[in-house]
């Protein structure tokens, strides 16, 4: 009977700007995440020009992982975590992004953090850019629109790759790099790249220019990274939302194929090292001209990734000619509700089988290891009179997804490195800027207004996940 590999990396995922807080501590500079306001359900987060006193509680204090990481890691170790995915805040290392020398205090913080993880045998899995960059680079250079930012990013990345070369083996360049395709929703484009695409006379061209710069930067980092330590595993990271055809009408089928091109583009370049054939006719049709330097082709070919990291939360169904209905599916043109699946309170469609489908799609296409670096259920948790938090809905969601993940590995032969559910410790929600949309096994006492003691509490899912890890996914 086949099982998951013994060295399967069970763990969880967080990101610097959503969990650390300490936004101005230890010499850290202002990042774009620090100038986003809190949202509330139904109200968009806002991108602001500078820092308004008292209005930015979400990222500014977040869950204070900056101050409490030792306490948190102890709890993760108790659950039996084999890895923790987190990101490095670029602004702790280069506060403005264009300095000559890095900030030693910032480097020390991650030395201590990774050291603490390793003390418990927990492997750090590190994203170099998780929806943030120095605000200074946005204001003074125009974010990723400017080719110069490639140099700043490469410098920052090589600084940390060298510094942590004996502590960190698994890296990823850009978190959910494909999310900037949703550029009509400024939050996505802005956090991915520091650019508000709608302000540009040709927003789509601008988005592809940015994407090109990031793909070149990623390839340079992969290539140079392997020189620093040939054992490094450096991956890309994509939001994987498979788009089903709404029906077997050939028009719907073809529409979903075209819509998936949008999702695949990034993986195709990261993994194969060149732009896919469907890009050129599309750019021609839309009169898109992306400036490329002669050496870029070579750089892309030389810097292909070692694995594909993916987040998986949902699938969507798309219908030829449909206009999406404003139900949380707006990011995908042609999206319509899928009558066969339920959705969360935030409109994210819950589809465990879709995870097996996603893993098959990606593995068939790329034939390199995959790593599920995000998956999970955002929900409002209730503290019972006896102080317990009975998050059975979360257990049910994760259990169903792990079952399908196992089928992909055991029955379909997908090479999967690990599984790190999102927000293993409660943190600020990215899309809403709220605390109340929680994913964790560990509760953090803080509310939407930023009040609370920050005390940690184990939810019911804590002991459930511990048992899952202990049994290598057998006891669900």
Q: Choose the catalytic residue: 176, 374, 404, 434.
A: 374
**Whole-number Cα distances in Å, 341 to 143, 394, 421:** 39, 16, 21
| Residue among 59 and 205 whose Cβ is closer to ligand BGP | 59
Work out which of 239, 240, 265, 300 binds ligand BGP, going by CB under 6 A: 239
293 labelled catalytic: no
Interface with ligand BGP: number of residues (CB under 6 A) = 15
- Which listed range, 68-76, 332-340, 362-370, 430-438, lies at the site for ligand BGP (CB under 6 A)? 430-438
Nearer to ligand BGP, 39 or 473 (CB): 39
Which token pair is 224? 């140079």
Distance of closest approach, residue 242 Cβ to ligand BGP, in angstroms = 15
Give me the DSSP letters along 106-173. HHHHHHHHHHHHHHTTPEEEEEEESS--BHHHHHHH-GGGSTHHHHHHHHHHHHHHHHTTTT--EEEE
Residue 100, classed as helix, strand or coil, is coil
423 closest CA partner among 405, 443, 404, 445: 443
> Tokens 């469609």 correspond to what residue?
349
**Applying CB under 6 A, does 311 fall inside the site for ligand BGP?**
yes
**Stretch touching ligand BGP by CB under 6 A, among 29-37, 282-290, 359-367, 423-431:** 423-431
Q: Report in angstroms how near the CB of residue 439 gets to ligand BGP at its nearest.
A: 7
* Residue 4 vs 84, nearer CB to ligand BGP: 84
| Residue whose CB is less far from ligand BGP, 34 or 176 | 176
Question: Cα 125–19–354 angle (5° rounding)?
Answer: 60
Site for ligand BGP contains 422 (CB under 6 A): yes
Q: Is 430 among the residues that bind ligand BGP (CB under 6 A)?
A: yes
CB-nearer residue toward ligand BGP: 239 or 300: 239
Question: According to CB under 6 A, which one of 4, 15, 19, 358 is a site residue for ligand BGP?
Answer: 15
Q: Considering the rule CB under 6 A, would residue 188 count as an interface residue with ligand BGP?
A: no
Contacts 24+ apart (CB under 8 A), 267-272: 267/178, 267/236, 267/238, 267/308, 267/362, 267/365, 267/366, 269/215, 269/300, 270/177, 270/215, 270/218, 270/219, 270/236, 270/304, 270/305, 270/308, 271/236, 271/304, 271/305, 271/308, 271/366, 271/368, 272/304
Site for ligand BGP contains 431 (CB under 6 A): yes
**Applying CB under 6 A, which residues contact ligand BGP?**
15, 18, 131, 175-176, 239, 311, 374, 378, 422, 429-432, 437
Catalytic residues, by residue number, are 374
């Amino acid at each position: 009977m086949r099982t998951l590999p013994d060295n399967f990396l069970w763990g969880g995922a967080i990101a610097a700007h959503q969990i650390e807080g300490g936004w101005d501590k230890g010499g850290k500079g202002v990042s774009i995440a620090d100038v986003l306001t809190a949202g509330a359900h139904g109200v968009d987060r806002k991108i602001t020009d500078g820092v308004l006193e008292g209005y930015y509680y979400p990222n500014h204090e977040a869950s204070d992982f900056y101050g409490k990481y030792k306490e948190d890691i102890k709890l993760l170790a108790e659950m039996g975590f084999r890895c923790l995915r987190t990101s490095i805040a670029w602004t702790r290392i280069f506060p403005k992004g264009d300095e000559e020398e890095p900030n030693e205090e910032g480097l020390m913080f991650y030395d201590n953090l990774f050291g603490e993880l390793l003390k418990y045998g927990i492997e750090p899995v590190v994203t170099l850019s998780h929806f943030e960059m120095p605000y200074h680079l946005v204001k003074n250079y125009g974010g990723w629109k400017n080719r110069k930012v490639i140099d700043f990013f490469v410098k920052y990345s090589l600084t940390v790759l060298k510094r942590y070369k004996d502590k960190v083996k698994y890296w990823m360049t850009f978190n959910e790099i494909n999310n900037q395709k949703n550029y009509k929703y400024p939050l996505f484009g802005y956090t991915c790249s520091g650019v508000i695409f709608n302000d540009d006379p040709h927003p789509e061209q601008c988005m592809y220019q940015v994407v090109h710069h990031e793909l070149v930067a990623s390839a340079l980092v992969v290539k140079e990274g392997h020189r620093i330590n040939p054992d490094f595993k450096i991956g890309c990271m994509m939001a994987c939302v498979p788009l089903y055809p709404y029906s077997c009408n050939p028009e719907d089928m073809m529409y979903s194929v075209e819509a998936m091109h949008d999702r695949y583009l990034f993986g195709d370049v990261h993994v194969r090292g060149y732009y896919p054939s469907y890009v050129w006719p599309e750019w021609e049709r839309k009169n898109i001209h992306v400036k490329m330097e002669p050496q870029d082709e070579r750089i892309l070919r030389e810097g292909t990734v070692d694995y594909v990291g993916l987040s998986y939360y949902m699938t969507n169904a798309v219908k030829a000619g449909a206009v999406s209905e404003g139900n949380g599916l707006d990011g995908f043109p042609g999206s319509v509700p899928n009558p066969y699946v339920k959705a969360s309170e935030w409109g994210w469609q819950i589809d465990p089988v879709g995870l097996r489908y996603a893993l098959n799609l990606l593995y068939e296409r790329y034939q390199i290891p995959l790593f599920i670096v995000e998956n999970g259920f955002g929900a409002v948790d209730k503290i019972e009179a006896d102080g317990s938090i009975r998050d059975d809905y979360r257990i049910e969601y994760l259990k169903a997804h792990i079952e399908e993940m196992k089928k992909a590995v055991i029955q379909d032969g997908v090479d999967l490195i690990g599984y790190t559910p999102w927000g293993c410790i409660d943190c600020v929600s990215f899309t809403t800027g709220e605390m109340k949309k929680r994913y964790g096994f560990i509760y953090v006492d803080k509310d939407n207004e930023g009040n609370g003691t920050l005390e940690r509490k184990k939810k019911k899912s804590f002991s459930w996940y511990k048992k899952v890890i202990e049994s290598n996914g057998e006891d669900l």
